[in-house]
Amino acid sequence: GTGDAGWSRQIGRAVYDLLYLIADRLLESGGSLILEGNFVAGAAETALEALPPHRTVQVYCDAPEEVLLERYLARDRHPGHLDRERLEEVRASIRAGRHRPLALQAKLIELDTTRPVDIAQLAAATCSVRPAQG
């Protein structure tokens, strides 16, 4: 089903809570993982830094605002996301800088997704990071 924008935000927060819980359990058991999401700068850092010791590489994908919004509307998603209804909210969030790279003690790889990404080069850059000591 669907609800209003407040309902959609509440579901989104619950999804991220589950994401962090699963990441915590996997790392605690010695596993590894890749977290992918639209993390919000100024909010996500605390949850990510609270995870058990791990090696972090942040891959930040970016494009001009209009390209991002065009892609946002072109996605085929469940109607509960309310993408069309939340377009101006998303635009304001981009302009406010909420989707900039996170302030983490980690290697940052920035990608302009309007150009082809060299996957082999990205993989090599990601894997060349030394594990955190701790």
**122 contact partners, CB below 8 Å, separation of at least 6:** 59, 109, 111
Torsions phi, psi for 59 (to 5 deg): -105, 110
Contact in structure between 109 and 126 (CB atoms under 8 Å):
yes
From first to last of its 134 residues, the chain has per-residue pLDDT tens of 678 878 878 888 899 999 999 999 999 999 999 999 989 999 999 999 999 999 999 999 999 999 999 998 898 887 777 778 888 888 999 999 999 999 999 999 999 999 999 999 999 998 876 655 44
Burial class from Cβ neighbours inside 10 Å (0-12, 13-18, 19+) for residue 39 reads buried
**pTM for this entry:** 0.82
